[in-house]
């Protein structure tokens, strides 16, 4: 079992930045591929970013490449999403997700919602124009 708690969302103007955090509790944090997804009313949950267990491999959704960065601190059981150059279209609830991975390949990650096992409650990011 794992529990994920997001924080760091808020209201910012276009062009601003936030740092979202996701604190993990459960089995060892390094067992999990971590991801961030976002969702707005009426839309499916959208892939934003993912990071491998090692932290050495990352991937991003097309709409956020070059603006967002995901990183993790396994010692603190925390994964972060730095969101920069925010646009109104980035307004969404941002969810942290964890996918259990036992293989020796520490570089695996996933962009697919169905491959994540645990989800946080989300943190709201609102970007005003």
Task: Provide the pLDDT for residue 33.
Answer: 95
Q: Is pLDDT larger for residue 28 or for residue 126?
A: 126
The arithmetic mean of pLDDT across residues 40-58, rounded, is 95
Residues 51, 55, 57, 62: is their CA dihedral positive or negative? positive
Whose tokens are 């936030």? That residue is 18
Task: Provide the pLDDT for residue 28.
Answer: 82
Is residue 2's pLDDT more than 90? no
Is residue 16's pLDDT more than 80? yes
Q: Is pLDDT larger for residue 2 or for residue 62?
A: 62
Task: Provide the pLDDT for residue 1.
Answer: 73
Taking only the tens place, the pLDDT of each residue in 25-34 is 887 888 899 9
Task: Provide the pLDDT for residue 102.
Answer: 80
Task: Provide the pLDDT for residue 52.
Answer: 96
Say how far apart CA 121 and CA 119 lie, in whole Å.
Answer: 7
- In this predicted structure, which of 51-55, 99-103, 113-117 has the lowest mean pLDDT? 99-103
Contact between residue 111 and residue 82 where contact means Cβ atoms under 8 Å apart: no
The whole-chain average pLDDT of the chain stands at 95
């Amino acid at each position: 079992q794992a529990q994920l708690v997001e924080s760091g969302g808020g209201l910012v103007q276009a062009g601003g930045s936030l740092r979202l955090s996701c604190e993990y509790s459960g089995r060892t944090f390094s067992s999990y591929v971590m991801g961030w997804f976002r969702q707005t009313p009426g839309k499916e949950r959208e892939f934003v970013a993912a990071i491998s267990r090692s932290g050495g491999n990352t991937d991003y959704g097309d709409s956020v490449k070059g603006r967002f960065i995901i990183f993790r601190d396994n010692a603190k059981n925390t994964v972060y999403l730095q969101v920069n150059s925010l646009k109104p279209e980035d307004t969404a609830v941002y969810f942290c997700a964890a996918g259990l991975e036992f293989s020796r390949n520490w570089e695996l990650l996933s962009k697919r919602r169905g491959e994540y096992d645990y989800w946080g409650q989300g943190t709201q990011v609102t970007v005003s124009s």
